[in-house]
Amino acid sequence: MKTTIYDVAEKAGVSISTVSKVMNDQQVGKKSKQKVLKVMQELNYKPSVLASALTGKRTSTIGLLLPDLANPFVAEMARRVEDRAHEFGFSLVICSTDLNPEKEERSVSLLRQKSVDGFILASAFNNRQVIADLVDDNIPVLLLSESHPQLAVNSINIDNIVGGYQVASHLVSLGHTRIAVIGEDATSSQQRINGYKQAFQESGLTVHEDLIAISDSSVEHAQLLTKELLNHPKRPTAIIACNDVLAISAILAAREMGLDIPKDLSITGFDNTLLSKSCDPPLTTVEQGLDKMCAQAVDLLIEEIEGKSTAKQRILVLPQLIIRKSTDFCPN
Amino acid sequence: MKTTIYDVAEKAGVSISTVSKVMNDQQVGKKSKQKVLKVMQELNYKPSVLASALTGKRTSTIGLLLPDLANPFVAEMARRVEDRAHEFGFSLVICSTDLNPEKEERSVSLLRQKSVDGFILASAFNNRQVIADLVDDNIPVLLLSESHPQLAVNSINIDNIVGGYQVASHLVSLGHTRIAVIGEDATSSQQRINGYKQAFQESGLTVHEDLIAISDSSVEHAQLLTKELLNHPKRPTAIIACNDVLAISAILAAREMGLDIPKDLSITGFDNTLLSKSCDPPLTTVEQGLDKMCAQAVDLLIEEIEGKSTAKQRILVLPQLIIRKSTDFCPN
DNA sequence: CGAATTGACGAAAGCGCTTTAGGTAAGATA
DNA sequence: TATCTTACCTAAAGCGCTTTCGTCAATTCG
């Protein structure tokens, strides 16, 4: 039998209200307070979050929704969010959505039943209606590394357009003109692609829409798409992948076709994950200030949860190009 | 204001007990049942997990503790556990412990306050006392990919000995007789090394203890050790690394010494991570059957949570050798 | 046709906590 | 001494749900 507030009250010879007040730092006589604290110690009493949440207090739990926890970049983000959340005594319930709008809805609905205090939607979240409902119902939400400009929601993001622009400019400066892109069905990919297009246009190059492919984020599919891109009558000399995992898939596919990276084909990633350093060759990629972003995200959400927040914010962080060995001059 | 069971009851013209019974599939007259269901629909009523848990039901939440969510291998595990848990309507609260016994304790304590239904301790968990307490308090626990033979706890693991044996046998069958090993200071490495020794003895080969090195798991140290091993007066023709990261470090080190993999030196990994496919050359390694392990883990834990479980089990899963390009016949 | 059985339903207690309203004893005021 | 304040503390209601128990009407049987 778990020890309850009643056990403490009885053993300390006070009423449960007094015990409750001690726990919540409300006015209590010094003597009673000491006694109660001592008994709590002795009984190793831990109040039930369930019960206290039922009476209107927080659960100190936040729901973290992300596309796929198995994606190293996403996992890294989750870890950082987790650390910051723990600092405030919050825990994380994590759900992978696979970018599937129904899963997204189910997860949010489930977590709402479990009374999480707020949500962080990280990396990508497609079901806009669900977000809107959350906002309507006054449940704190924050978009991390994902944006829905239509919605009045706190969000914190890297500037994906700049990121795409940086990568594309880098390749262009190496002499590439036929550059393929492989992205995911997510806003961030779209924005990165837009940046790429801008860089192209600025350099007076034409964008070939048939060199832009959208993967469903499985490794197999990405490889398939890569091969298709490389079989294009006028084979591209570089591929911009919208994240590191896609980039690695592309490397594998290219290698299977007998191509040397970066001699025959330059490939760039995005996110600067662990993978990008340890793969062969190490990836040229884009670093997001993940650490700061995640911390800020948690801070902002918790502020909103605790009702201290002012107006909604939309924060943009600037990315940074990291040049490694997967890009080289355009062959011939 | 969230809609509660009272709202439903009132609108349906029945008592809250009837509504509750409908939700819990207890005997209720057909007419009332239809009516209640309809009203629940209309009001989009979702019962509060908090409230129902307070009256003795499950929270349908399990605590997943792991060393570091940012580690891709661990994250992959987490994802699989998550998927299986979701199938049963359970969610996951995830905590990284960094193998720090105090963090381990804090996390468990916090999650207990939040009334999770059970715990999965994955990959590694050092604070044995905490596990013992959990067992004493009859809270379901399961060790995944980690074992504490002293404790009567459900656990599920790969058979590391067999894994080591498979790898060593493979190399022996390729004609190698001087095989070095590089592992970490962990039970799993020890067991893998034992398997290697068994394979050697069975083949009538002698184990040279001076060809076994233990790395502190930093990439640099692993490379240093590799070089030392390769500078041994009688240079080994193969290296067994106890995980993929170590294997890749070894590859890099060997390459720096001008050796060709696998012509001059065969190298094997362990875990069959993404890395092992994407590195050059792709690693011969050992697949753990993660998918099945994780699913089984969840199944077992939930059985225990629902009280359907019989005795505690200790399950060993057999690993599978994956032969890629990093191993070849013994030179000369 | 009366008695016994059965099924449907609701009143109410209880889960562990917070919070409000109110009571009591001690000290302050005059 | 009589009246007012404070300072502490508690009883009790309430959060949203489950569950036990009792009531009542419909059904069955002798």
Residue B279: its pLDDT value, please?
Answer: 79
- Give the closest of A53, A96, A110 to B82, CB-based: A96
Cα torsion for B128, B134, B136, B140, to the nearest 10°?
A: -120
Please report which confidence band the pLDDT of residue A247 belongs to, taking 50, 70 and 90 as the band edges: very high
For residues B202 and B162, the answer to whether their CB atoms sit within 8 Å is no
Q: How far apart are CA A40 and CA A16, in angstroms?
A: 12
B114 vs B116: CA distance, rounded Å: 6
Per-residue confidence at B238, pLDDT binned at 50, 70, 90? very high
Q: Is the pLDDT of residue B173 over 80?
A: yes
Higher per-residue confidence, B99 vs B115: B115
**Mutate which: B62, B79, B84, B97, vs A, most A CBs within 10 A:** B79
Q: How far: A31 CA to C21 C1' (Å)?
A: 24
pLDDT band of B219, cuts 50, 70, 90: confident
Q: Is the pLDDT of residue A15 over 70?
A: yes
For chain B, the average pLDDT equals 93
Query: What whole-number distance in Å separates Cα of residue B73 and Cα of residue B56?
Result: 36
CB B17 within 8 A of CB B26: no
Please state, in angstroms and rounded to a whole number, the distance separating the CA atoms of residues A186 and A127: 11
Give the pLDDT score at B187. 83
Q: pLDDT digit string (tens) for A207-232?
A: 999 999 999 877 789 999 999 999 99
Q: Residue B70: closest CA among chain A residues belongs to which residue?
A: A76
Burial of B264-293, coded b for 16+ CB within 10 Å and e otherwise, reads: ebbbbbbbbbbbbbbbbbbbbbbbbebeeb
CA–CA separation, A73 and A1 (whole Å): 43
Nucleotides in chain D near protein beta carbons (<7 Å): 7-12, 14-20
Determine whether the interchain pair A82/B72 forms a contact, defined as Cβ–Cβ distance below 8 Å.
no
Measured N-to-C along each axis, helices A72-87 and B72-87 cross at an angle, to the nearest 10 degrees, of: 80
Nearest CA distance, A72 vs chain B (angstrom): 5
Question: Rounded CA gap, A174 and A300, in Å?
Answer: 41
CA-to-C1' span, A43 to D9 (A): 23
Cβ contacts of A80 on chain B, cutoff 8 Å: 70
Residue A238 and residue A171 in contact, taking contact as beta carbons nearer than 8 Å: yes
Tell me how far CA of residue A87 lies from CA of A64, A295, B70, B169, in angstroms.
16, 10, 18, 49
| Interface probe, candidates B43, B46, B69, chain A, greatest A C-beta count within 10 A | B69
Instruction: List the single residue in B with minimal CA-CA distance to A49.
Output: B114
Interface contact flag, A70 B79, Cβ < 8 Å: yes
Q: Around A95, how many Cα atoms within 13 Å sit in the side-chain half-sphere?
A: 29
Torsion on CA atoms B158, A245, A296, B62, rounded to nearest 10 = -30
Chain segment B9-51, per-residue pLDDT in tens: 999 999 999 999 999 999 899 999 999 999 999 999 999 999 9
CB contact under 8 A, B109 and A46: yes
Shortest CA to C1' contact from A29: nucleotide? D8
**Distance from the B205 Cα atom to the nearest Cα atom in chain A, whole angstroms:** 35
Q: Label the pairing between strands A238-241 and A266-268.
A: parallel
Cα–Cα distance between A78 and A18 in angstroms, integer?
39
How far in angstroms lies nucleotide D11's C1' from the CA of residue A138? 35
Q: Lowest mean pLDDT of A74-78, B266-270, B278-282, name the range.
A: B278-282
**DSSP for A252-271?**
HHHHHTT--TTTT-EEE-SB
Strand C bases contacted by the protein (CB, 7 Å) = 7-12, 14-21
Rg (CA), chain A: 25
Q: For residues A119 and A133, give the distance between their C-alpha atoms in angstroms, rounded to a whole number.
A: 12
Confidence of residue B71 (pLDDT cuts 50, 70, 90): confident
Tokens of B144: 């995944």
**Alpha-carbon torsion (A95, A96, A101, A102), positive or negative:** negative
Banded model confidence at residue A310, pLDDT cuts 50, 70, 90: confident
Backbone φ and ψ for A194, nearest 5 degrees, come out as -60, -40
Using the predicted structure, report yes or no on whether residue B203 has a pLDDT greater than 80. yes
The shortest C-alpha distance from B159 to chain A (Å) reads: 24
A50, A57, A133, A244: best to mutate for the B interface, most B CBs within 10 A = A50
Measured between beta carbons, the chain B residues lying within 8 angstroms of A46 are 109, 112-113
Q: CA B260 to CA A44: how far, in whole Å?
A: 61
Beta carbons of A114 and B76 less than 8 Å apart = no
| Chain B CB contacts of A54 below 8 Å | 48, 50-51, 54
Kindly determine whether the C-beta of residue A28 is less than 7 Å away from any atom of nucleic acid strand D: yes
Q: Which residues pair with B287 in a beta bridge?
A: B320
Residue type, A213: A
Do A280 and B277 make contact, defined as CB atoms within 8 angstroms? no
Query: Mean pLDDT, to the nearest integer, of B177-192?
Result: 91
Averaged pLDDT for residues B104-130: 96
Q: Which residues of A touch B83 (CB under 8 A)?
A: 96
Residue A214 has which token pair?
């959208």
- A50 and B112 within 8 Å at the Cβ level: the answer is no
Q: Scanning every residue of chain A, which has its alpha carbon at the shortest distance from the alpha carbon of B111? A: A91
Distance B28 CA to C5 C1' (A): 18
- Interchain CB contacts (distance < 8 Å): A and B: 133
Interval A102-157: pLDDT, tens: 999 999 999 999 999 999 999 999 999 999 999 999 999 999 998 888 999 999 99
Residue corresponding to tokens 């067999």: B162
Report the residue from B53, B94, B114 with minimal CB separation from A82. B94
pLDDT at A316: 92
Percent of chain A with pLDDT over 90: 83
Higher pLDDT, A57 or A280: A57
Question: B115: which chain A residues are within 8 Å (Cβ-Cβ)?
Answer: 48-50
Q: Which residue is nearest to nucleotide C7 (CA to C1')?
A: B29
In chain A, the DSSP E strands lie at 61-66, 91-96, 118-122, 141-144, 154-158, 179-184, 212-215, 238-241, 266-268, 285-287, 314-317, 320-322
DSSP, collapsed to helix, strand or coil, labels residue A92 as: strand
How close does chain A come to B162, measured CA to CA in Å?
27
Q: Any idea how long chain B is?
A: 332
Q: Work out the number of other CB atoms within 10 angstroms of the CB of residue B41.
A: 9
One-character DSSP codes across A18-80: HHHHHHTT----HHHHHHHHHHHHHHT----HHHHHHTT----EEEEEES-TTSHHHHHHHHH
Residue B217 pLDDT level (bands cut at 50, 70, 90): low
Which two three-digit tokens encode residue A44?
């190793």
Provide the whole-model pTM: 0.88
